[in-house]
Amino acid sequence: MQAARGTSLSPGGSAPTPTARPHRRHLLVFGLVAAVAYATDQVTKVLAVEHLTGRPDVQVVGEVLRLHLTRNPGAAFSTGTGFTPVFACLAAVAVVVVLFLSRRLGSTGWSLALGFLLAGVAGNLTDRLVREPSVLHGHVIDFLMLPNWPIFNVADICINVAAGLIIVQTFRGIRLDGTRIASDDEPDAQEPDPGQTP
């Protein structure tokens, strides 16, 4: 038998598991992180083009970190240089997917992850849309150089930070909506994220 509010009255019955709902503060964190990180990426690229074009490498931290301007027509590690329009379309799809998923946010960790991911993908997508040689063929501005590592930019940092946060949330068993995946010895399959407000 079920009561009017959906609570089981049968012997041994269990109450329905509450479903986490997105909170405005999670959307605010997501939007703020995405906006600040995206703006940082775009401003640093403009400064790099303005101050590094035609100049030798600029040492920032000895030989550990240098500034070296390059224009990358491909993906990570300069791969797929002949498929710039394909990468631009994939990035546009990724932006739409992230925005769609953001409607379900109920976890601060996931809000940070998707915020950084949106900023990184949108940052490099902007280059492919507005920079030379043409729309969808634009070259991504890279200018940060580490020893034995491909040159990268702030957007690339954002994407890697997002990947790390996603891995952490996955290992913690936190779903996008803030509920927790229970282990085999836990009877409750959904547990609110500790950082989630009631």
Q: Which residues are catalytic?
A: 142, 156
- For 110, the token pair is 């996931």
Asked if residues 144 and 150 have their Cβ atoms less than 8 Å apart, the reply is no
Whether 123 and 42 have beta carbons less than 8 Å apart is answered as yes
Residue with tokens 């030798």: 56
Cα–Cα distance, 98 to 159 (Å, whole number): 12
Query: CA 146, CA 117: separation in Å to the nearest integer?
Result: 22
CA distances from 67 to 93, 145, 170 (A): 31, 6, 35
